[in-house]
Chains A and B, each alone.
Chain A
Amino acid sequence: MNESKQKRLQLFFSRLNNAKPVDTTEKVFELLTLILNEVENEFTNIPFSPALWMTDGRMYAPQTDSIRSTDSENIIRYRNRSHNTYIGKNGSIKIVSV
């Protein structure tokens, strides 16, 4: 049985919050992807099919084509439906509602 997206999202944020800090942009991206996939694998039966991301109902980590530059060369931005995810070169992460 699939958990609701709201519940899965709460689990994602909770696990992200409790994760061990990382120190590079690449590691943040890996961490986001790892945790989101863990939650989706544990709490849904929707297979991991990135090609179907638009229609399968599974949550996927930000895609590389969502990257945007920001005013700071140390920070990049990923745009989602209702969030911007800011990732710093120092491994920091901030998710802001649009």
Chain B
Amino acid sequence: MFDDFVKKVQAKFPHFTYEIDRADTESGNSWLDIFAGNEVITVEYRPNLGFGIYKDKSSDYGNGPDEVFRNENLIIARLEAILIAHKTDIRLKELQEMFGETYESSQATKVIPHSETDQTSQEVQYPLEELLSFVKSHGGSLEIKAHFEECDVPISIGPSN
């Protein structure tokens, strides 16, 4: 499984260099370091848990991965987004792209006219950006993580990078 994955990644991104650290045992974890210019993306594979992507070099000793995937096609698509399109953060748009949806079509179906919301719910509905701004202004941090059957990914809600 890991070797197949590595072959697919190397075939898709032939211009990067790779370091492979295979497990000693069948149930052990294996590592793939992808060197893309100054950027290093590491993928950990655990047979029972799937693939983890480590994006942040400073995410250090004993840290878990930034994103987890249990679907090989999904992680390869995500690697393409990170390595080629440099979309390191996942916002709604990237999330929809991962699942094969277009941002525009989803936007069109998700708009709810204000008149349809009742007074009570309007009082508690505000943009996530506003919530983020409030939390940041009070010295806090806000993290949102989406859990799907095939992946666990943090969602960015601040300004795009």
A56 to B65, CA, bound (A): 10
Q: Judging by beta carbons under 8 Å apart, are A59 and B63 in contact?
A: yes
A59 (CB) vs chain B CBs: closest residue: B62
Q: Judging by beta carbons under 8 Å apart, are A9 and B145 in contact?
A: no
A13 to B63, CA, bound (A): 14
Question: Could you say which residues of chain A place their CB within 8 Å of the CB of B83?
Answer: none
Q: Judging by beta carbons under 8 Å apart, are B29 and A65 in contact?
A: yes
B24 on the A face (CB < 8 A): yes
A36 on the B face (CB < 8 A): yes
Question: Could you say which residues of chain B place their CB within 8 Å of the CB of A13?
Answer: 61
Known: A79-B29, A80-B62. A65 touches B23 (CB 8 A): yes
Q: Judging by beta carbons under 8 Å apart, are A61 and B28 in contact?
A: no
- Contact residue among A6, A55, A80 (Cβ-Cβ distance under 8 Å from B152): A55
Q: Judging by beta carbons under 8 Å apart, are A81 and B44 in contact?
A: yes
**B 1-42 contacts with A by CB, 8 A:** 19, 21, 23-25, 27-29, 31, 33, 42
Question: Could you say which residues of chain A place their CB within 8 Å of the CB of B33?
Answer: 98
- The contact string, 1 if C-beta is below 8 Å from chain B, for chain A 51-68, is 001111111111101111
User: 14 A-B Cβ contacts within 8 A?
Assistant: A5-B63, A6-B58, A12-B62, A55-B145, A59-B61, A62-B62, A65-B28, A69-B24, A79-B29, A79-B31, A80-B63, A81-B44, A82-B60, A83-B61
A34 on the B face (CB < 8 A): no
- Contact residue among B21, B24, B49, B60 (Cβ-Cβ distance under 8 Å from A54): B49
Q: A-contacting residues of B (Cβ < 8 Å)?
A: 19, 21, 23-25, 27-29, 31, 33, 42, 44, 46, 49, 52, 54, 57-65, 68, 145, 147, 152
Question: Could you say which residues of chain A place their CB within 8 Å of the CB of B25?
Answer: 65
Q: B-contacting residues of A (Cβ < 8 Å)?
A: 5-6, 9, 12-13, 36, 53-63, 65-69, 79-83, 95, 98
A81 to B40, CA, bound (A): 11
- Contact residue among B24, B29, B68 (Cβ-Cβ distance under 8 Å from A63): B29
A69 to B21, CA, bound (A): 12
A58 (CB) vs chain B CBs: closest residue: B64
Query: Of B21, B46, B63, B145, which is in contact with the most chain A CB atoms at under 10 Å from its CB?
Result: B63
